[in-house]
């Protein structure tokens, strides 16, 4: 079974057919997905801006990161709970869209990066000052790729 | 000239027609509008959660207002500019759209909330700046602004789906 056939089978599940038939289920899930974007945006920016010497500069990085983490996890949870439904509704459409695969790859990268390299750096000793800028730039660029990819695959 | 006639006049201007028919430019403006939400609502969310006493309680509120709020304001300017351009491109479609109208109404409410915050509780910020949980009046403005901004997001996202709902 090829990947395209898997996507086709997903899309054809009775539940997904019913979801597509509803005029409001997809928009409502898409709206929740957008709220997730705002939550992640805030949680990532408040820490990454701090690493760039902007925003809440008077707070220690580790403390800021700890405060922002529940918000970040909430945002990611909202996205992971809503995103797959949006995907499954139109799986075969996304199969052919390059931005979809770029989004997926960036998402895997940014999640791994956030919960390994970035997290360890933020909660560890603040000694490595020189790594702050590349860390923030990498984090923000990867999230931007995910967001732009997400916007592009929604276009008609 | 009625509001509808104004929209029709606007839609007939060469610039509006150009923007409406320039498929990619319009989509680029739409993408900018949506993605800036991460900056605008993301930072607004953090400021509002602090006003509600739900986040970073040990940090004085004044620090959020002086260091983080400028990013919120910057994000808002980009969103207002890109949003206005999208209205300018398709005024006749937007005018009768109930979600668009609800969004504008909620924008007025959000504006009043911000104005109230600046004109009342913010003037006495020295009294509650370091409170882990700010006074009820402050929490009310933070909570209301959050409700209005999320309402604006929901209404905005629903604009293209008007025909399915009504």
Measure in Å the smallest separation between the Cα of A27 and chain B Cα atoms: 7
Asked if A42's CB is within 8 angstroms of B42's CB, the reply is: yes
Helix (H, G, I), strand (E, B) or coil at A141: helix
Model confidence over A29-46: pLDDT tens digits?
Answer: 999 999 999 999 999 999
Which residue bears the tokens 């009625």? B2
- Contacts with B46 from chain A: Cβ below 8 Å: 42-43, 46, 71
Question: Looking at the predicted structure, is the pLDDT value of residue A122 above 70?
Answer: yes
- Contacts with B150 from chain A: Cβ below 8 Å: 35
- Contacts with B68 from chain A: Cβ below 8 Å: 46, 55-56
Q: How many CB pairs under 8 A join A and B?
A: 95
pLDDT of residue A125: 62
Residue among B34, B67, B150 minimizing CB distance to A35:
B150
pLDDT of residue A127: 54
Structure tokens given for A124: 């560890």
Model confidence over A90-103: pLDDT tens digits?
Answer: 999 999 999 999 99
Judged by a CB distance cut-off of 8 A, whether residue B115 touches chain A is no
Model confidence over A103-115: pLDDT tens digits?
Answer: 999 999 999 999 9
Residue among B46, B150, B158 minimizing CB distance to A46:
B46
Instruction: Give me the percent of chain B exceeding a pLDDT of 90.
Output: 95
Q: Considering only alpha carbons, which residue of chain B is nearest residue A67?
A: B56
Q: Are B48 and B146 in contact (CB under 8 A)?
A: yes
pLDDT of residue A126: 56
Measure in Å the smallest separation between the Cα of B37 and chain A Cα atoms: 6
Question: Looking at the predicted structure, is the pLDDT value of residue B72 above 60?
Answer: yes
* 3-state DSSP of chain B: CCHHHHHHHHHCCHHHHHHHHCHHHHHHHHHHHHHCHHHHHHHHHHHHHHHCCCCCCCCCHHHHHHHHHHHHHHHHHHHHHHHHHHHHHCHHHHCCCHHHHHHHHHHHHHHHHHHHHHHCHHHHHHHHCCCCCCCHHHHHHHHHHHHHHHHHHHHHHHHHHHHHHC
Q: What is the mean pLDDT of residues A72-90?
A: 96
Question: Looking at the predicted structure, is the pLDDT value of residue A13 above 70?
Answer: yes
Q: Where are the alpha helices (DSSP H) in A14-131?
A: 14-21, 25-51, 61-89, 91-95, 98-113, 119-123
Asked if A27's CB is within 8 angstroms of B164's CB, the reply is: yes
């Amino acid at each position: 079974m090829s990947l395209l056939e898997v996507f086709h089978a997903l899309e054809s599940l009775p539940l997904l057919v019913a979801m597509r038939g509803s005029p409001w289920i997809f928009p409502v899930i898409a709206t929740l997905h957008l709220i997730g974007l705002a939550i992640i945006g805030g949680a990532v920016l408040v820490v990454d801006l701090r690493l760039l010497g902007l925003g809440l500069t008077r707070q220690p990085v580790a403390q800021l990161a700890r405060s922002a983490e529940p918000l970040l996890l909430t945002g990611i949870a909202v996205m992971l709970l809503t995103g797959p439904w949006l995907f499954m509704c139109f799986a075969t459409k996304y199969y052919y869209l390059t931005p979809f695969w770029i989004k997926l790859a960036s998402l895997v990268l940014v999640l791994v990066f956030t919960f390994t390299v970035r997290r360890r750096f933020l909660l560890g000793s603040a000694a490595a000052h020189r790594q702050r800028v590349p860390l923030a730039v990498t984090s923000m660029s990867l999230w931007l790729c995910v967001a732009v990819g997400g916007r592009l695959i929604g276009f008609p | 000239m009625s509001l509808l006639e104004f929209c029709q006049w606007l839609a007939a201007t060469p610039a509006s027609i150009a923007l409406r028919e320039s498929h990619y430019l319009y989509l680029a403006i739409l993408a900018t509008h949506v993605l800036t939400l991460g900056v605008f609502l993301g930072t607004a969310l953090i400021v509002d959660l602090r006003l509600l006493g739900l986040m970073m309680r040990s940090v004085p509120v004044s620090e959020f207002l002086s260091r983080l709020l400028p990013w919120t304001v910057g994000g808002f300017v980009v969103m207002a500019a890109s949003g206005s351009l999208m209205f300018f491109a398709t005024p006749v479609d937007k005018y009768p759209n109930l979600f668009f109208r609800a969004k504008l109404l909620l924008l007025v409410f959000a504006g009043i909330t911000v104005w109230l915050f600046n004109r009342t509780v913010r003037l006495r910020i020295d009294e509650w700046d370091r409170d882990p949980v700010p006074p009820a009046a402050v929490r009310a403005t933070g909570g209301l602004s959050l409700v209005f901004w999320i309402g604006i997001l929901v209404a905005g996202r629903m604009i293209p789906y008007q025909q399915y709902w009504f």
